[in-house]
Structure 1
Amino acid sequence: MTASRKRRIVYANHTGRVSGAEKVLLSMLRGLERSDYEAVVMCPADGDLQTALIAEGIPYATIPTLKARFTWRLDLLFSYAISFVRVMTRMRREIAALNPDFVHANTLRAGIAATIATIGTGRIVLWHVHDILPRHPLSTAIRALAYTSRRTQVVAVSDATAVAFKGSLPFGKRVHVIHNGADLSQFPWRTQGEAPLKCELGLPTGSFLICAVGQICARKGLRELLDAFSQIHQNATHLHLAIIGKPVFEHEEQYLSALLAQVNANGLADRVHFTGERRDIAAVMQSADLMVLNSREEPFGLVLVEAMSCGTPVLATRVGGIPEIVTDGETGWLIDKGDASALALKLAELSQRPDLLEQVSRVAKKTVCPRFSIEQFLTRLHAFYAQLPAMRNPAREISPTVTSGQRSK
């Protein structure tokens, strides 16, 4: 592929706020072969995504925020439909001006909008599915749209996500699984005796620190984790729990408030520590004696790979894509979702088995991490890109509505 004929990809994201899918998007952009591809991102101005794009030197075009969620309320569905129309109208204009070879929609909502916005153009739209579709009439409509649009290709982040997306429709070879990948170089094996988070929190010698890292929302099962911790904290005084992260969306602020109230009501304020969002996640994981992902549903669970790379053992629920990462009793431990008693028993048991934790951690580092590296992810993604047909008129330049990213120094 010559420099004069780079393939242009327009990435579409329905929100400007950065959570799991947006972190994957930024990883894709960092790893894109600039000699072969040029990228432009369409995203709203709300949140930190455009700031991150500027830091990475990635140009972007601003689109309205797409306000749409699964709901049964007809009044909300009407307002969401209006939001879709606004976003699709702007997308169609931007895509026509940007003239990409194909569109990579980084979320389901972006995929829906981009597919409708490109009707009549023949342009390929790649849906990157980071979510497990719930049982809802709208899920049936979403599947039907993707299936009937022969221009649509789907990349799912796990086998579980792919199965849930396809439902009973015969998508055939149009649905591909490319597992997310972690930059393992950023998550080195922990140094014996070093635990900076324990020191920061002022934990006594001999403490056993359990960490939960990620977005603070109901899907992560944090309320149930607190229920389990409250069952054992009096008889296991060496246990401490650190919850690392923040709410991303406004409706999640109430969930955080409920968690704080639960901690205070159960007398756990000196044993449960909310740190907020942190940038030193590797240091956090290296300080943890056990990483817990107690999700009600989880499309993949990249945080588990990051913890394994640091040598931190993991305990997670048997949902979604998690069993594709964790083999129970060999590379970590799995429990059923929503079973606070089983979780409590497993936390207490593992806190007394440092030898077993060390053994399982070493197996996970050796056998799991290489399969889910950023290099594996990018290799498979770029191979997939190479199979997509080119659509762009090479004479057309990037739209003047695009804001050029400039790398921070």
Structure 2
Amino acid sequence: MRLAISNHGLRASGGIERYALTVVRGLHALGVKPVVIAKAFDASLPEYGWVEPLRVNVAWVPGKLRDLVFDRRIRALKRRHGLFPLIACNQTGAADIAICGSTHPGFLQAMGQAERRSDRWKIALEQEHLTRSAVIVAHSQRMAAEVQRFHGIAAGKIRLLYPPVDGDRFSPVDDAARAALRSELGLAPDRTVFLLASTGHKRKGLDLLVDFFRRTSLPVDLVVAGRPLPAEAQAPNIRSLGYRRDIENVYRAVDFTVMASRYEPFGLVGVESLLCGTPVLCARGVGCAEVLREPAQIPFTLDAGDQAPDGFAAAVAEAVKRQAAGTHRIAEPLAHLGYDPSVAHHVRELLALAEALRPAP
């Protein structure tokens, strides 16, 4: 059995690429060296030395067709090298274990976008990814439901397995270290500071937050880590921190993290923030809301009005109240998390699924 992983890239990035890196790291800790099929590799990463890389060059292919060509190359490489099982993080009909971190129909519906021809190609490839695999790993209950709803997959084929988080990197610090981080980032000591981590501002709900923070008279600030702010998002109490390689220190320094996403299949940001001791204002429907236990999260309804008791304004007011009372920090993060987020646990579960697929002797 030559265990393999496929993904768009093996590099330091967000979303599914970060997930693939984490899985490689966990496999390495168990002495397993997988084959990795990807379009791009960062050879400077230690993880690169822990895999057998198979690079697929699709740079010559028009952008909207690259995933289709990548799928065909994965199928050919799987046959040529005798790879089994293939844990596919990207959409491919070659998957034995299909990782489902999102669905394209779910995204289009949540974002209010009409389906185009290129979307139909993506959805067809996603259907093959899910239908041809032996088992589907859904990263949240929401994803399991979307797989059944949009793709007609039987519930018995789906395994719920929440994504892992590096507990060594994401962990609390003491009050003195936190104060030093806060000063280093220039965060006001007498204001309640909220963090939005975003590389896709529309999906993450930046416009909704800007509208609120511009109008509020509460002593609150919003800092945004990730993509630079557009000109229309500028305000005295809103500023950009840019892209951060030390996002764990930003979580530690702020008072709350905000997840106002229009579409968030899981949202590792929420779990990472909690593990750093920082509670989350979490829109209902965000995937990780399934596992964040109050008071680690303050839930709100995304489209509720300013005067609604379950709206964002009420959630912010509650957060300011807790911060003023000094009761907002989460001293024991794991006690407020509804699953084991360790990389070791997640990888052992994946290997158990892989072993179950091994043909009988």
Deviation of residue 36 (structure 1)? Answer: 6.3
Q: Percent identity?
A: 22
Structure 1, 88-97 or 291-300: larger mean CA deviation: 88-97
Kept after mapping to 1: 8 A contact 2:101/2:143:
yes
Report the counterpart of residue 295 of structure 1 in structure 2: 261
Q: Which moved more, 1:277-286 or 1:373-382?
A: 373-382
Deviations 1:93-142 (A, max 9, x none): 322332212211102x3x2xxx1xx5xxxxx6221111134256848745
Corresponding residue of 2:225: 244
- Report deviation, 1:163: 0.9
1:336 alignment partner, one of 272, 292, 301: 301
| Aligned equivalent of 1:381 | 350
Partner of 2:34: 39
Equivalents in 2 of 1:175, 1:91: separation in Å? 23
1:339 and 1:50 mapped to 2: Cα distance? Answer: 47
Q: Are residue 83 (structure 1) and residue 66 (structure 2) matched?
A: yes
C-alpha deviation, 1:330, in angstroms: 3.6
Instruction: Confirm or deny that 1:130 pairs with 2:101.
Output: yes
Given candidates 13, 18, 35, the residue that maps to 2:7 is 13
Q: 1:55–1:142: structure 2 CA closer, same or farther, 3 Å change rule?
A: closer
Q: Give the corresponding residue for 1:153.
A: 135
1:281 maps to which residue?
Answer: 247
Give 1:23's aligned amino acid: R
Q: Residue 52 in 1 paired to residue 45 in 2? A: yes
Provide closer, same or farther for how the CA distance between residues 192 and 35 of structure 1 changes in structure 2, counting only shifts above 3 A. Answer: closer
Alignment of 1:37-186 (within 5 A): 37-45=32-40, 49=42, 51-52=44-45, 55-65=48-58, 80=64, 82-107=65-90, 109=91, 111=92, 115=93, 118=94, 125-133=96-104, 134=106, 135=109, 138=120, 141=124, 144-146=127-129, 148-149=131-132, 151-167=133-149, 169-186=152-169
Report if the CA contact (8 A) 1:305-1:369 is conserved: no
Deviates more, 1:33-42 or 1:160-169: 33-42
1:261 to 203, 215, 231: 231
Q: What residue in structure 1 maps to residue 282 of structure 2?
A: 316
The amino acid that maps onto 2:26 is: G
Tell me the equivalent position of 2:112.
none
- Quickly say closer, same or farther: Cα 1:240–1:84, change in 2 above 3 A: closer
Q: How many residues align?
A: 341
CA deviations over 1:211-247 (Å, ceiling 9, x no partner): 1124333211112111121121xx22x322111123x
Shift of 1:315: 0.6
Give the whole-Å Cα distance in 2 for the aligned partners of 1:262 and 1:21. Answer: 30
Counterparts of 2:350 and 2:326, CA distance in 1: 34
RMSD: 3.1
Q: Say which structure, 1 or 2, has more relative contact order (CA 8 Å, 6+ apart).
A: 1
- Where structure 2 has 5 or more consecutive residues not aligned to the other structure, the ranges are 110-114
For residues 40 and 356 of structure 1, what CA distance do their matches in structure 2 show? 52
Match of 1:189 among 172, 183, 187: 172
Structure-2 change in CA distance of 1:49 and 1:99 (3 Å): same
Q: Note the C-alpha offset of 1:274.
A: 1.0
Letter paired with 1:154: I
Deviates more, 1:162-171 or 1:48-57: 48-57
CA deviations on 1:144-172 (whole Å, 9 max, x unpaired) are 535653x4421110111011012272524
Q: CA contact under 8 A between 1:231 and 1:344: conserved in structure 2? A: no
Q: Deviations over 1:232-270 (max 9, x none)?
A: 1xx22x322111123xxxxxxxxx5xx431233xxx1x4
Q: How far does residue 16 in structure 1 lie from its aligned partner after superposition?
A: 6.3
Indicate the residue corresponding to 2:199 in structure 1.
215
C-alpha distance in 2 between matches for 1:376 and 1:357: 34
Per-residue deviation, 1:189: 1.9
Whole-Å Cα distance in 2 between the matches of residues 334 and 67 of structure 1?
A: 46
What is residue 401 of structure 1 aligned with on the other side? Answer: none
The superposition leaves residues 150-206 of structure 1 with CA deviations (integer Å, 9 ceiling, x where unpaired) of x44211101110110122725243211110121222222231143344313434432
Unaligned runs of 5+ in 1: 1-6, 69-75, 119-123, 247-255, 392-409
Q: TM-score, normalised by structure 1?
A: 0.73
Q: TM-score, normalised by structure 2?
A: 0.82
Paired with 2:323 and 2:207, the residues of 1 have a C-alpha distance of 26
Q: Name the larger-Rg structure.
A: 1
**Between 58-67 and 300-309, the greater mean CA deviation after superposition:** 58-67
1:388, 1:33 → 2: CA distance?
Answer: 21
